[in-house]
Amino acid sequence: MTKISIIGAGSAFTREIAMDILLIEGLEGGTIALVDIDERRLELARRLVLQIVERTRKTWEVIASTDRREVIGGSQFVINQIEVGGLETVRYEYEIPLKYGVKQCIGDTLGPGGLFKTLRTLPSWMEIVRDIEALCPDCIILNYTNPMSAVTLLTSRITDIPVVGLCHSIQNTSAQLAEYAGVPYEEMSWKAGGINHMSWFVELSHSGRDLYPVLLEKIQNPELLRQDPVRFDAMKYLGAFVSESSGHFSEYIPYYRKRQSLIDQHCSTGYNGATGFYADNWPIWRRENDEQIVSQLEGKEPIELKSSNEYAAIIIEAVTKNEPKVIYGNVPNRGLIENLQADGVVEVACLVDGKGVQPCRFGRLPEHLAALCRSNMAFFDLAVEAVRRSDWEMARRALMLDPLTAAVCSLEEIGSMFDELYEAEQGFVPVLK
């Protein structure tokens, strides 16, 4: 019987992923094990998944525990969705860098916020991986936790258990591009590769016609340009569209947030780049998600039986039924993209079947795009190794390599910012030497 463990089950992802799993045709039963250290949110997740099981009329058993060692044994799939100390630290990670002129929109992948999220998350995840090795060593790890590249990179360096990092940026962006270009999604062809949140659509066509000239013409319309301002502007100069939202992407490169006039010009509201967007809204989204689950459990809101575009259930179906599927996953590079670090993590197309997740060779990225990816990969490498070695100086230097922080601050200022963040987050980050 299939057994799937979800660690960090209080996450908003659980609703969609559980629904997707329970809607897999022909997979009628098994065990879903839910783990979270927050008893209240774990109970909400357990009751919600039980309701979905009942609605789908399948025979899945749902078990839950705050102690993962009690329930994950024998899992074929372990889904990671943990969030470590984010609610308590989100203001520090926005407001302290702001004092130094670093104006973040999201701050969960790169930059000061991404670095300290890495420092908070990886020690707990390392302990979880050791338990996975002991209790379900034959599983596949499906990671949803950000920073995606850092978590997946660490995993690949501390265990031989296969891991794939799963995002929704390729699915979402490819659908957006079809809409922007005015072509049917199912008829559009593309080739994408790079790293998480910075994969590049190096080929984009419809019925053999290159869609980039079409997009360049269409963004002469200011209304369309305003829909995705950073990504469209970058496309004009870099020649390819990137996989993550304008707000996210604006933080990973040095061009758009280093002075207020550029932010005013290119970064508008919400996910298009609003300063402080995540810090101001994430605690609200978290509370609203819990409130919606309660409303659904009380019958005040419907639970709609509808699949999402997340990849976890697609992988589970392909492996358990040996039915080949293609997903985009974050995996160890090992030559998949020739001009990116061989020991880093890249995002490429992957074939999935009964043999597991099999990444496909991409080749070479255009060199200027590869260089932008490498700047981010160097940051991830230093951050991951800082945690593995408990190395304070290595963590500090990771921030010095961050493209946005380096565009705004001097080395002395970056050092001071790191020290101030490290002091503020005592108790949430590991002791570095």
From first to last of its 433 residues, the chain has per-residue pLDDT tens of 899 999 999 998 999 999 999 999 999 999 999 999 999 999 999 999 999 999 999 999 999 999 999 999 999 999 999 999 988 999 999 999 999 999 999 999 999 999 999 999 999 999 999 999 999 999 999 999 999 999 999 999 999 999 999 999 999 999 999 999 999 999 999 999 999 999 999 999 999 999 999 999 999 999 999 999 999 999 999 999 999 999 999 999 999 999 999 999 999 889 999 999 999 999 999 999 999 999 999 999 999 999 999 999 999 999 999 999 999 999 999 999 999 999 999 999 999 999 999 999 999 999 999 999 999 999 999 999 999 999 999 999 999 999 999 999 999 999 999 999 999 999 999 999 9
pLDDT of residue 268: 82
- End-to-end CA, the chain: 46
Q: Are 39 and 17 in contact (CB under 8 A)?
A: no
Q: Count CB-CB contacts under 10 A for residue 415.
A: 16
Residue 192 main-chain phi, psi, to 5 deg: -130, 150
Active site residue 168: yes
d(CA 61, CA 414): 50
- Token pair, residue 287, equals 């509370």
Radius of gyration for the alpha carbons in the chain, expressed in angstroms and rounded: 21
* Dist. CA 107–CA 282, nearest whole Å: 11
For residues 70 and 5, is the Cβ–Cβ distance under 8 A? no
Secondary structure (DSSP) of 315-352: HHHHHHHT--EEEEEEEE-TTSBTTS-TTSEEEEEEEE
Q: Which long-range contacts (CB under 8 A, 24 or more apart) does 421-425 make?
A: 421/92, 421/93, 421/96, 421/97, 421/112, 421/116, 422/392, 424/89, 424/92, 424/96, 425/85, 425/89, 425/92, 425/116, 425/119, 425/120
The structure tokens listed for 50 are: 């039980």
Options 168, 248, 266, 368, the catalytic residue: 168
**Domains plus CATH for the chain?**
2-85+109-166 (3.40.50.720), 86-108+167-275+310-433 (3.90.110.10)
Cα(148)–Cα(258) distance, integer angstroms = 24
Tell me, what's the pLDDT at 323?
97
User: Residue 383: what pLDDT?
Assistant: 98
Would you give the DSSP letter of residue 271?
Answer: G
Sign of CA dihedral 120, 123, 126, 132: negative
pLDDT attached to residue 12: 87
